A and B are shown apart, each in its own frame.
Chain A
Amino acid sequence: MILNDLTFIKDKELAARKKIVLRCCMAAGCMSTDSKGVKEQLDKAVADAGLQNEVEVRGVGCMKLCCDGPLVAVDPQDALYVKVTAETAPSIIAALKGGKATADQGDPKSAFFAKQFSIVLANSGIVDPERIESYIALDGYQALHEVLHEMTPKDVVEAMVKCGLRGRGGAGFPTGLKWGTVAKSPGAKKYVICNADEGDPGAFMDRSVLESDPHSVLEGMAIAAYAVGADQGFIYVRAEYPLAIARLQIAIKQAKQLGLLGAGIFESPFNFNIDIRIGAGAFVCGEETALMSSVEGKRGTPRPRPPFPAESGLFGCPTLLNNVETFANVPAIYRKGADWFAAIGTEKSKGTKVFALAGKIKNTGLIEVPMGTPLRTIVEEMGGGAPDGGRIKAVQTGGPSGGCIPSQHLDTPVDYESLGKLGSIMGSGGMIVMDDSTNMVEIARFFMEFCMDESCGKCIPCRAGTVQMHHILDKIANRQATARDLAKLEELCDMVRNTSLCGLGQTAPNPTMSTLRFFRNEYEALLQPDPFGPHANGAAKPTETAKK
């Protein structure tokens, strides 16, 4: 494979393109509302109308507006049909010839679509995830070619530092710094791992990226491997995402056939292979050291750092570990330049972020916006506010490690620092909207139960602390607790946060602490009077640190 072969495939694919393209969403969300049947009907209707030479029906990945699925978009007419059924599908073909479509029309120019800025999802809903040619037609794998032939690994790392990309898994560690550390670590064998163990309940960005545009992740991993000097990659995917696993397997196979993975990529001395590792349902495996021990076939328990994975990771070798979305950003950065990327977003948080908008909101689905976009724009303008005339009470970000942002703080810009100040985190990108009917104590208890179940049991603060905190929250929710229990809860939150081994334990109190901070009245309303007075019997007073 040389550059000419790549452009040949691209030209061939573009030349074969038909005048009208119907894009039918084939991601997991729409598949569950029978988009497969819709596509079959569309194919049949095209054949019946004798339009095979003019119309192409393409199965694509996520088209973002999941609540209105299955979605069908028509190019170049720029029409969008929502909630298409197998019965109404043929009428879309009839509409091409001047008939009337019985399927509901959506508005592709609504705020939900107009305010999006796509880098990671640029190909999502456009390319056919099961055909590599479709990705190549949109300049796919050109960045990899350029990197391999025009740049030294050092240049690649420098460009990554310059663009200012930060890890999209939640913590926001600068990606360039991580790549540089792994590149500098001595060792003949190095690994690149893609963390696709999207454990946060309420987050589905990584699933959508893998289902819609798997090749961008593979290309990103290959570029990263060249930069750090690795020759073996792993993608650790959750077992709960069978469609993503299937599409990744197809993508890897196709890339290998074309010589875009394997030995001597693009006639260069660079070799790189990718294997899939399937998770088995453990939230803690999203933590990097736990993930690596799971890839090694062991129980997914974290270990203390240092040594950091960049020095001693998988099988004791230097390992680069990044999230799906981070890798999906990489090809675009090298195709369009680090300066282009650095110009997007805020000063400290560059680029865009994909959020999975769900919960009590009108438009649920995927949104990608530049960093620094106010929450209000996302929730009210793009999301359309709460359904059925409800009022938005809070937005939960960061899953069980994040917090609840109350409606009075909706003007907060979304970036790593601003969310951190409110006691929440950016997290991987789940954004759950809650309305008036949501009980915040219940939510805190829900997340604590989650952390309690998912604690791996290695360190005591997390193993025992989550159980105790859940017990107190349960007591409060059942109206059996007193002010003393609440003080104890705050003390425990502080202790678990400061003494746990890994991120799971350190962030487990976050949902409780943030709901306590903003919705303390809801907790207090459930408290019972203490027969012995609030601070009798040597019980701890609520400390200043716990309040923060």
Chain B
Amino acid sequence: MNASVSRPQKKRIQAVLNHASGDKRFKILEVHMKKHQFRQDALIEILHKAQELFGYLEDDLLLFVSFKLKLPPSRVYGVATFYHFFQLKPQGEHTCVVCMGTACYVKGADKIIDAITQKHKIRAGETTADNKLSLLTARCIGACGIAPAVVYDGTVTPRATPESALEQINKWGQK
């Protein structure tokens, strides 16, 4: 690193690299960065890969990316917080994404959210205390023809109702 980096910063980077050396996923991420020739404009692609590997973007991970791409940490953090897709907090074991596009909204997607909020005491964007369930909303998943759509752990389900959503979540709870 160059001379403009202050001492505590140096220490922090060293700590991040130590953390990274003990985790295989960082190696995979670095290979991915190499594929993009460590180009700074590939930052969003790399953050996508990082989230795919780790599930969410923790501080050490963002610092690692910023160090490897020679970008200021503020820039990496700025991008990670700007886009809705990037999660800075760990997600629950199961995720339930309710589409809140116009078609789904007109057909009662808000009632599904209300039902889950009441039953499981979490609002959209939150995770239950036992880390079992995350309730998220999507802007529009483009499945308007089969509205309202709900995505359970990555599987799109058509024509959901508050009852069907609660039932699916119950199933997860029993496992």
Contacts and interface: CB of A to CB of B under 8 A. Distances in A.
Interface of A: 28-29, 31-33, 66-67, 69, 198-204, 207, 239-241, 277-283, 294-300, 315, 356, 358-360, 364-366, 396, 399, 430, 432, 434, 438, 443, 446-447, 450, 454, 456
B83 A281 contact: yes
Highest count of chain B CB atoms <10 Å: which of A32, A204, A396: A32
Contact of B144 (A297, A298, A358, A454): A358
Interface in B119-145: 138-145
B45 A32 contact: no
Contact of A280 (B85, B107, B147): B85
A199 B103 contact: no
B106 to A, nearest CB: 5
A299 B79 CA distance: 5
A300 to B, nearest CB: 7
A295 B40 CA distance: 11
B44 interface: yes
B43 interface: yes
Contacts of B149: 32
Contacts of B103: 201-202, 358-359, 364, 432
Given A28-B156, A280-B47, A297 B42 contact: yes
A128 B80 CA distance: 37
B44 A297 contact: yes
Given A67-B145, A358-B145, A294 B44 contact: yes
A456 B39 CA distance: 25
Contacts of B144: 66, 202-204, 356, 358-359, 364, 430, 432
Contact of A204 (B42, B75, B145): B145
A25 to B, nearest CB: 11
Interface in B37-60: 39-45, 47-48
Contacts of A366: 145
A296 B41 contact: yes
5 contacts: A29-B158, A295-B41, A358-B145, A358-B147, A438-B106
Contacts of B107: 359-360
A240 B141 contact: yes
B157 interface: yes
B143 A434 contact: no
B86 interface: yes
A281 B139 contact: yes
B84 interface: yes
Nearest to A295: B41
B101 to A, nearest CB: 3
B105 to A, nearest CB: 6
